[in-house]
A and B are shown apart, each in its own frame.
Chain A
Amino acid sequence: MCLFCVPMPYIRCVVWIMSVWMWKSPEVLLYCRCSEGREPVFISDMASFKPTKVQFLPKLGEKVTEDTLYWKNYKSPVQIKEFGAVTKIDFSPLAPHNYAVTASTRIHVYGLHSQEPIRSFTRFRDTAYGGSFRGDGKLLVAGSEEGLIRLFDISGRVALRQFTGHSKAVHVTSFLSDGFRVVSGSDDLTFRVWDVPSAVELSSITEHTDYIRALAPSKLNPDLFVTGSYDHTVKVFDMRSGSSVMTMQHGHPVECVLLYPSEALLVSTGGRYVKIWDLLKGGQELVSLKNHHKTVTCACLSSVGNKLLTGSLDRHVKVYNSSYKVVHNFDCDASILSMAVAPDDEVVAVGMTNGVLSVRHRKHKKDKETLTSRRRRGPSYRVFVKGKNFVPRQDDFLVSKPVKQYLRKYDKQLKSFEVSKALDTALQTWTRTSKPEVTVAVIIELNRRGTLKNALAGRNEESLTKILNFLLKHIFDPRFSRPLLTVGDIVLDLYRQVLHQSPVVERQLQRLMEVLGREAELQQELLQVLGILDTLFASLTPRKEVAALAALPVDQGPQLQAA
């Protein structure tokens, strides 16, 4: 069963069901692309040695697109330890784009590139929740476990206002877009709107029947906001009417709601599902995505191209493209509770249950250049191009210099039939670890020449461990497994008599046996699943009668032509 030799729809289906397993099949078809155009091979070059061909085998699965390149372009994450689970991250809309991180009883404000908090708000008696900035970035509002809502000035320490009224924990708070009102959702099933200057409650609405855990105010209309609750509903409220104007059934406890900047689309996450709703069509469900395998806790939009990002308890952040296909995946150490993307996608900040805030910064070209310029030492570019761009005059007599063929070290050794040395060269640490395909190419070449046994024979413990380590690492890689199995066979044949003399080699062989046993089991299961799939597909395809004989599309064109 090869992967690429079966038609695409079939394959997609298989891959869908068993995404990772499939790559383990040894007979997976591999493509090799000829990256550079080879010059035509004529008789003239018969006297030159043909170097070992290293097959470039791209890994299957991930296709490189512009999106993946864009999202890959982040540095490795910076880890900041907080005091408890990070429940909310919010970026300031103003220029330095500081961000407020709500964790445990504190709210820390970090600068974009600092790892120490610029400012912290610590006046909470119990756990703080949902710290979010006002549209001008000067005020910050946060709820807390005890039901109090506090309003802070960014430059001050003490709360400017305290709104009391909720009887249970307030998990979500936010400013409405006019900036004078605060809306908050609480576990007491109500949400309330507060007036900031006077600190009085303007209204209190109880429509949800379970905890309110998600809130998204509209940026275009100061009277609109969207709430999500554990009662599986998403509601749109209009303060002018004082009640909900739209209700959508998510089907799972809603963890997060998000409005697109155009506010025509609404994202709600809950359970393993991410659903997109079209508000202009009266709340019709557009797409339902199921890419996580645990509850999706947070969602946000990138500011370049409005790509959707979702984070989940399964420790993954997924990035979707505009047709809602996953284009990239960030892996984290723990379950993700909150996430935010800075304007211009400069920073992706992710908060996790273990209290770690992981911050990824974007790579810039400038950084790379400074790195490389520092590294380069030695003759300048001019030395190499000297005389290269000399244009001969018309009546100059040209004496062409034969082009020297540069060979790799292992090729030189192969050319002079030094097979053991060539294998040693190919097994050097750097090649072995960073370019295993080169090592395997040399092994294949030796096998083709019928000298693999000679190359493997007569080795001491140290060089044999090298080979066995390489086998352990790559023997189940479908790209390499076939030649490496031959190597394994030959090694066993050659050293059977003396294996017990070295405990190191013996241990490695034990491990090799375990690895192969596991692999064999996996293969068997795989074949079983394939068998199931085959029966399913066979039962799905409709039975067709043999087409009527006269209807055969033998065209009459050639006949006419001949006539």
Chain B
Amino acid sequence: MVETSDIRVVRCGGSKVNLTPPIISSDSRFVLCTSGDLVKVYSTRTEEWLHSLQGHTNQVTGITLNPANHLQVYSCSVDGTVKLWDFIDGILIKTFVIGCPLFAIYVSEKHTGVLFLHVSMATDSKNECFQLVSVHLPKSAEQEVEAKEMSAVSSHISKNPSCTAFGRGGEYIAFARHLQLNVYFFRKQKTYSFSLKATDKKGAKNAFTCIACHPTDDCIATGHEDGKIRLWRNFIHKKEYTYSTQHWHHNAVNTLCFTPEGTHLLSGGIESVLVQWQYGAGNRKEFLPRLGGSILHISASSDGQLFCTSHSDNKITVIESSFKVCGVIQGLVKGDAVLTDLMIDPRSKALVLNGKPGHLQFYSLLRDKHLYNLDIVQQEYIYEAGLDQFEVVKAAFDIKGSWLATVEERGKKSSDLEFFLKLWAFDERTQSFVLNTTITAAHTDRIISMCFSSSEETTMLVTAAEDSQFKAWCQGADADTQQDQNFWSCDFVGSYHKLNPTNCSFSADSSLLAVSFQEVITIWSPDTWEMLTTLCQPPGVIRDLCFGRLSCSKYLLGTTTKNLLCCWNLLTCELEWSTSVDVSKLQPDPFSENVAAFSYQSKHTDLFVFKPSEPRPLFTNKNVCSEKVHRAVFVPREEPLNSCDESTQWLNRSQLYFLTQNMDLLTFSTATEEDRMLSSSKQLVIDDSVAVTPFYLLLGKHRQQQQKLNTQSHPVSDKPQQTQGSVTIKELLHTPAHVLPAASVLCSMFVNSFLISNTGVQQDPLREEMDSEKEEEDSEEEMEACDSQQELRAQGSVDEVTPKLSKAQERELKRVRKTDFSWMAGLIDSKP
């Protein structure tokens, strides 16, 4: 067993961005949100991810702007530290070590140098007791400071961070827990508490869910589990308090937020409707419906121009004050459960899994960016708790990515199960999937497994269902329809002794189909639909099934529920080997013979990577994570690594991603890969406009000189020096031919330069043109430089550099040349 140090498990993109309320910078240019152990900074205009604040070692649980300096932000984390950042440049300014896990952070302008934090009473983890403490920040110049001055404001507070809020000018702090609202007045050092009855007459649930305090008025707004919003007033007197009730939400109010001027109150809940209540005007309200998942947090910018809502489908929506959505920041949607397998779209190489309800999401792992959602169910989603709606439960791509099969299902709880099998064709024109066939009753019971045949010529879909049948679907198998042949219909129905199938799989060349029926694996020939043989290894039902690839294509692997991993030789139809491992997921690599097996034993998951032909695993990693792994996928690399180390060789052509039960997407990264990434990022840092091609090196050097000169004389001016230009051309002509780009690339430029001299115009236009061309290249190079992975390859190829001019453009150029630029010459002569 090789215990490797150079392969490590990395948490990769797609962590939650909706855990805490996002904050908008005071100039409304940035949105900050927590994402795993990072704080991400997005632009509000372009929705692009600008950079991240990296430094915490555990989940970041709260961020807030520094009231003393609006360019700084505090963040707190479960690792027990509070960090102060300059978020525009992404610099860590200070670290305050608190020492115990922190769950939320609050600040107030009145209390400078004091932070209010949610701290868990660490005594026992079972009954979660949270405490609100205030921490005085020590003033010292050091980077890392220990803050020890803690004083408890209140013990026993709700663990929900939105149940705590600062009142007008920081004079009091309000927090709620279950049915009790507490207000702590800093001046009096006293807590008043007001409680509601457990249920009123109609059986409504009165528990508090969120709190917001009016910025200028003595008013506390509270949201309740039954959807009511109560506005509390006059709570300065313990007995004579009053409250008014407003009701629109039909389920719990998740969040409340006052606008900075206090003119409006925003509320949101599971309905995914942002409601704007006019403060002091009773029931007048505005709605913004269908925002996405249920609203978890709302925040407003300090000038009141922008609102941000974060949604349960891992999304942040930026909304203008005129109630128009102006931006969406979408993370990887993981929801409560990933029902489909993790898949790779063969065309875009994007990770595909079920996303927001009724949709498949396409997520680019390389760029860590959500690409788009494909609406599978095509029905209006009703945001209502406990409503049983259609969910995408199965999906499969064919090998070329031109067909997609999906199964959507409804009614898991009730007896009548409804499901549809849909087949989608890829449309080249719209570059998206288009619905081709809907099959309303493909089977009489739930579809368990689904796979496409992997051959190039004919596509065939096999579905196995709990009605003890498996069916093969073909395109246009029904010969009687004369019009359009491109719909799918059933080709074959197979069953084996009325046993329920558990899995199905095609061999790499799709000459064989394996369908497992409980304990028995049946092998079929898809051409004739003849059952060739059966394989069986009695104890335990077959769980996973996969064929070996390439040189191991004669092997069939299967795992059983009785902790057995078996490998059959299909040539002899005998068991080649078997071991006793509890395999929770078996994932073959489509580009090599390797198979990855995740096994769950004694509260941690181990990974084995092996070839079916060899008894010894290639790679073993004990304790990959502490949860069970049910979904994994091999993602092809853009560019293969060439590591020779035996333990990392299996990662050369593809990368293994897996999803734990806690919905963490993890992957393995090797030392070589990290080196490469590091080097590329260094290169980027050192020089953005670093030369990429020899030609560019040549011109780029001069450009830098030019820029220097320009900055010396007049920074904004674009006019080049005449002598400089001629030197460039001279050097170009004197360079050895083997480092120059192809003559065809340079030819047109040179011919053009001759043309100009013929028209009798002075040399300046040529220079200008040269310059503009260089600039074009420049921008191209910058774009290329962004793609750090591509860089090495780009160095090899030269011919993409000069853009070809179309005829119209050339004509335009000529026209420009013919115009008289002599006035410019005068200008240039006069200036320096």
A5–B325 Cα distance when bound, in Å, is: 47
A518 within 8 A of B: no
Which one of B206-214, B431-439, B749-757, B769-777 contacts A?
A: B431-439
Q: How far is the CA of A51 from the CA of B375 in the complex (A)?
A: 13
Q: Of residues 527 to 549 in B, which have CB atoms within 8 Å of A's CB atoms? A: 530-534, 549
Task: Chain A residues near B490: list those with CB within 8 A.
Answer: 4-7, 29
**Cβ of B438 and Cβ of A34 under 8 Å apart?**
yes
Q: What are the residues of chain A within 8 A of B493 when measuring CB–CB? A: 5-7
Residues of B within 8 A of A8 (CB): 477-479
**CB-based nearest A residue for B472:** A7
From A50, A448, A553, name the one whose CB has the most chain B CB atoms within 10 angstroms: A448
| Given A2-B441, A8-B478, A29-B442, CB of A49 within 8 Å of CB of B290 | yes
Closest A residue to B484 by CB, please name it: A33
B330 surroundings in chain A (CB, below 8 A): 43
Q: Which of A515-563 contact B (CB under 8 A)?
A: 544, 546-547, 549-550, 552-555, 557-559, 561-563
Tell which of B174-182, B229-237, B507-515 binds the partner.
Answer: B507-515
| Interface residues, chain B, with chain A CB atoms under 8 Å away | 289-292, 325, 328, 330, 359, 372-375, 378-380, 382, 384, 387-390, 410, 427, 430-444, 469, 471, 477-483, 487, 489-493, 507-509, 511-512, 523, 525, 530-534, 549-551, 553-554, 570-573, 593
- Please indicate the chain A residues that have their CB under 8 angstroms from the CB of B571 in the complex: 549-550, 552, 554
**8 examples of A-B residue contacts, CB within 8 angstroms:** A5-B442, A30-B441, A34-B438, A40-B430, A42-B373, A50-B378, A57-B440, A550-B571
Which A residues lie at the B interface, using CB under 8 A? 2, 4-8, 27-34, 37-43, 46-53, 55, 57, 63-65, 414-415, 445, 448-450, 544, 546-547, 549-550, 552-555, 557-559, 561-563
Contact B492 A558 (CB under 8 A): no
For the complex formed, measure the closest distance between the CB of B230 and the CB atoms of chain A, giving whole angstroms: 25
Q: Determine how close the nearest CB of chain B comes to the CB of A217; give it in whole angstroms.
A: 38
Across the interface, do A546 and B443 meet the contact criterion of CB distance under 8 Å?
Answer: no
A-side contacts of B439, CB under 8 Å: 29, 31
Structural contact, B551 and A43, CB atoms closer than 8 A: no
Asked whether B382 lies within 8 Å of A449 as measured between CB atoms, the reply is yes
For residue A42, which residues in chain B have a CB less than 8 angstroms away from its CB? 372-373
Which residue of chain A has the shortest Cβ distance to B288 in the bound complex?
A47
Residues of A within 8 A of B492 (CB): 7
Q: How far is the CB of A552 from chain B (nearest CB, A)?
A: 6
**Is A557 in contact with B533, judged by CB distance below 8 angstroms?**
no
Q: How far is the CB of B46 from chain A (nearest CB, A)?
A: 15
Q: A30-B441, A42-B373, A544-B530 are in contact. Are A554 and B550 (CB under 8 A)?
A: no
Total A-B Cβ pairs within 8 A: 162
Is A53 a contact of B553 with CB atoms below 8 Å?
Answer: no
Given contacts A544-B530, A558-B509, contact A5 B471 (CB under 8 A): yes
State whether A2 and B290 are in contact (beta carbons under 8 Å apart), knowing that A39-B430, A554-B554, A557-B509 are contacts in the complex. Answer: no
17 further contact pairs, Cβ within 8 A, besides A47-B325, A55-B438, A552-B571: A5-B441, A29-B442, A33-B437, A38-B378, A46-B291, A47-B290, A47-B291, A52-B380, A64-B483, A546-B533, A547-B532, A549-B572, A553-B511, A553-B512, A554-B507, A554-B553, A558-B551
Which residues of B lie under 8 Å from residue A561 when comparing CB positions? 550
Q: Are B533 and A547 touching (Cβ within 8 A)?
A: yes
Within the complex, the shortest CB–CB distance from B457 to chain A, in Å, comes to: 14
Are B434 and A38 in touch, CB under 8 angstroms? yes
Contact A43 B440 (CB under 8 A): no
How close is B95's CB to chain A, nearest CB, in angstroms? Answer: 38
**In the complex, how many angstroms separate the beta carbon of A67 from the nearest chain B beta carbon?**
10
Given contacts A31-B439, A552-B571, A559-B551, contact A448 B373 (CB under 8 A): no
- B380 lies within 8 A of A50 (CB): yes
Cβ-defined contact, A65 with B572, below 8 A: no
Q: Using Cβ atoms and an 8 Å threshold, which residues of chain B touch A448? A: 379, 382, 389-390, 410
Q: How far is the CA of A32 from the CA of B292 in the complex (A)?
A: 29
Is A563 a contact of B436 with CB atoms below 8 Å?
no
CB distance from B417 to the nearest CB of A (A): 12
A5 to B492 alpha-carbon distance, docked (Å): 7
A5's closest neighbor in chain B, by CB? Answer: B490
**Does A50 contact B379, Cβ atoms closer than 8 Å?**
yes
Q: Which residues of A contact B440 (CB under 8 A)?
A: 29-32, 55, 57
Contacts of A50 in B (CB 8 A): 378-380
Q: How far is the CA of A53 from the CA of B435 in the complex (A)?
A: 13
In whole angstroms, how far apart are the Cα atoms of A11 and B634 in the complex? 42
Q: Are A552 and B532 in contact (CB under 8 A)?
A: yes
Q: Give, as a whole number of angstroms, the nearest-CB distance from A53 to chain B.
A: 6
In contact, B372 and A53 (Cβ under 8 angstroms):
no
Given the complex of chains A and B, what is the CA–CA distance between A4 and B481 in angstroms? 13
Contact status of A558 and B553, CB under 8 A, knowing A41-B373, A547-B530: yes
Residues in chain A near residue B442, CB distance under 8 A: 5, 29
What's the least CB distance linking B124 to chain A, in Å?
Answer: 41
Shortest CB–CB separation between residue B588 and chain A, in angstroms?
13
Return A158 CB to nearest CB of chain B, in Å.
56
* A63-B481 in contact (CB<8A): yes
Shortest Cβ distance from A4 into B: residue: B490
Q: Are B444 and A27 touching (Cβ within 8 A)?
A: yes
A445 to B216, CA, bound (A): 47
Residues of B within 8 A of A39 (CB): 430
How many angstroms from the CA of A64 to the CA of B441 in the assembled complex?
23
Chain B residue, CB-CB nearest to A30: B440
CB of A46 within 8 A of CB of B290, answer: yes
